[in-house]
Amino acid sequence: MTKNGDPLLDENFQILHQFLVNHYSFPDRDSRHVFNKFQFVDVKKNTTLHQQNQICEYAYFICQGCVRTFFTNRKGEENTRYIAFENNFVSAFSSFITQTPSLENVQTLENSKLLKIKQSDFFSLVNHHATFSKLYLHSLEQAQVISTWRLETMLSMTAKERYRDLLERMPQIVLRLSNKQVASFLGITQESLSRLKARK
Amino acid sequence: MTKNGDPLLDENFQILHQFLVNHYSFPDRDSRHVFNKFQFVDVKKNTTLHQQNQICEYAYFICQGCVRTFFTNRKGEENTRYIAFENNFVSAFSSFITQTPSLENVQTLENSKLLKIKQSDFFSLVNHHATFSKLYLHSLEQAQVISTWRLETMLSMTAKERYRDLLERMPQIVLRLSNKQVASFLGITQESLSRLKARK
DNA sequence: CCATAGTTTTGACGCAAATCAAAAAAAAGA
DNA sequence: TCTTTTTTTTGATTTGCGTCAAAACTATGG
């Protein structure tokens, strides 16, 4: 899985390590015990990491690449709920937290290098390591901030305003992903997005 | 404030007590110490409990009545983000949590009996009482579930579908509140709501 | 009780975005 | 390289919802 069997020497684990040190004052001595719970996976673009209606068993830390969560409504259209890039954890969180069947799918949008961790291991870290309890709380709070923002844009802006706002707030989504994905995130059709970009 | 100075004998504190016992296995012996941190307030309909751009200092437990959170967008329209009835905590949570200026207002929609608690007291309870740390985590998770649901409805449903869905999922909102409030929650105008109800 | 204010309904019209369809452009494979 | 598939753009039409305005209905207070 890792290059030489020792996570501490693997560059992907280094990325996670650095992330924990930078944002959650991760203490060095815990390294091995913590990183043993993570497993490296290298997956192609458009890989489904989690299917809706299943109970979500893993959370993923993105070392490289891009992952989205989306649900398919009764008309069969896909609605993107969240898009994450490098240095973020991603999962079907309501299901991951409550261990009930999820409403959403989790899928890569680029070839991605991920570190996955089982639900039980994750919560054992959350319960026993200050670093991870901070990380968990912070993630819940951040998720709330982003949900609130998106709901606000949906309630109060036109498609064009939402596009401009997205370009400002999460430029990576617009710059790295296809129109199809951007449109799905904005809650409009590809055609509308194309037109809206044309008339500046 | 309370009828006779002792929170433990006041009916509004009884409601909170029962709520904590029922949902978060609150241990009886803690009562006085905990309830001393709450303050009873009886407020009229349409009272502003918190103004946007301020740092939110209180969370409110609703003993009776109804409270909404909303933001006013640049066009001056009010967009309702959340509506809570009896037996719920409500606040401008992102601001309450992070102690940064809030984007939203908090306002009563009915005459309401509330128990308010200061931010510092609330988090001291969260940090020292299993009951409140459970409550806090559960609230964050619930907030996430509701945000996700609302975002999903905004992304994938027409106004009429959203109305039907709301009627099923949160009938109180439709039954207890004015069209104006329901429309604001659904993200449409009052006129549209009226028409949409007319053509069944 | 009436008077005034607030809420809900109805009507006429406009526009943003959806839909269906097909062409053009770009990317991926052989 | 040329072929095939995928993505993006353009066109014609429909539609759901907003806007503005006025009427009908419902509260509320003096």
The domain that holds A60 is classified in CATH as 2.60.120.10
Is A152 domain-assigned? no
- Rounded to the nearest 10 degrees, the angle between the axes of helix B159-169 and helix B190-198 is 80
Average pLDDT over residues B71-80: 83
pLDDT above 70 (res A3): no
Q: Are A39 and A117 contacting, i.e. CB atoms less than 8 angstroms apart?
A: yes
- pLDDT per residue over A116-147, tens digit each? 999 999 999 998 999 998 999 899 888 888 98
Protein-proximal nucleotides of chain C (any atom < 7 Å from a CB):
7-12, 16-21
Is A189 domain-assigned? no
Residues 6+ apart with CB under 8 A from A168: none
- pLDDT per residue over A79-114, tens digit each? 999 999 999 999 999 899 989 999 899 999 999 999
Average pLDDT over residues B73-94: 90
User: Which of B71, B97, B156 lies nearest to residue A152, judging by beta carbons?
Assistant: B71
Is the Cβ of B148 closer than 8 Å to some Cβ of chain A? Answer: yes
- Long-range Cβ pairs for the range A71-78 (8 Å, 24+): A71/A103, A71/A104, A71/A105, A71/B152, A71/B156, A72/A105, A73/B152, A73/B155, A73/B156, A73/B157, A75/B156, A77/B156, A78/A184
Is the Cβ of A148 closer than 8 Å to some Cβ of chain B? Answer: yes
Tell me, rounded to whole angstroms, the distance of Cα B189 from its chain centroid: 23
Is B103 domain-assigned? yes
Containing domain of residue B99, as a range? 7-128
CA of B178 to C1' of C4 (A): 20
Residue B60, pLDDT score: 97
C-beta atoms of B187 and A154 within 8 A = yes
Is A150 domain-assigned? no
Residue A66, pLDDT score: 95
Percent of chain A with pLDDT over 90: 74
Q: How far is B2 from chain A (nearest CA, A)?
A: 34
pLDDT above 90 (res A163): yes
Residues in A touching B141 (Cβ below 8 Å): 94, 97-98, 140
Query: How high is the mean pLDDT of chain B?
Result: 91
Is the Cβ of A73 closer than 8 Å to some Cβ of chain B? Answer: yes
User: A197: which nucleotide lies closest, measuring CA to C1'?
Assistant: D9
Secondary structure of residue A143 in the 3-state scheme: helix
Residues in A touching B154 (Cβ below 8 Å): 151, 154-155, 187
Distance from C-alpha of A182 to C-alpha of A175, rounded to nearest angstrom: 9
Asked whether strand C has any atom less than 7 Å from the CB of B79, the reply is no
Q: Using H for helix, E for strand and C for coil, what is the string for chain B?
A: CCCCCCHHHCHHHHHHHHHHHHHHCCCHHHHHHHHCCEEEEEECCCCEEECCCCECCEEEEEEECCEEEEEECCCCCEEEEEEECCCCEECCHHHHHHCCECCCEEEECCCEEEEEEEHHHHHHHHHHCHHHHHHHHHHHHHHHHHHHHHHHHHHHCCHHHHHHHHHHHCHHHHHHCCHHHHHHHHCCCHHHHHHHHHCC
Is A153 domain-assigned? no
Percent of chain B with pLDDT over 70: 96
Average pLDDT over residues A151-168: 94
Is B57 domain-assigned? yes
Distance from C-alpha of B141 to C-alpha of A123, rounded to nearest angstrom: 14
Mutant choice from A68, A148, A154, A162 vs B, greatest count of B C-beta within 10 A? A148
Is A184 domain-assigned? no
Q: Structurally, how many domains does chain B consist of?
A: 1
Asked whether strand C has any atom less than 7 Å from the CB of B195, the reply is yes
Percent of chain A with pLDDT over 70: 96
Asked whether strand C has any atom less than 7 Å from the CB of B193, the reply is yes
Query: How high is the mean pLDDT of chain A?
Result: 91
Residue A5, pLDDT score: 64
Residue A200's pLDDT band (cuts 50, 70, 90): low
pLDDT above 80 (res B9): no
Residue A172's pLDDT band (cuts 50, 70, 90): very high
User: B160: which nucleotide lies closest, measuring CA to C1'?
Assistant: D16
Is the Cβ of B147 closer than 8 Å to some Cβ of chain A? Answer: yes
Q: How far is A79 from chain B (nearest CA, A)?
A: 7
pLDDT above 60 (res B3): no
Secondary structure of residue A80 in the 3-state scheme: strand
- pLDDT per residue over B33-66, tens digit each? 899 999 999 998 889 999 999 999 999 999 999 9
Mutant choice from B148, B152, B165, B169 vs A, greatest count of A C-beta within 10 A? B148
The strands making up A48-50's β-sheet, listed across from edge to edge, are A48-50, A105-108, A67-72, A78-84
C-beta atoms of B154 and A187 within 8 A = yes
Residue B161's pLDDT band (cuts 50, 70, 90): very high
Is B161 domain-assigned? no
Tell me, rounded to whole angstroms, the distance of Cα B119 from its chain centroid: 15
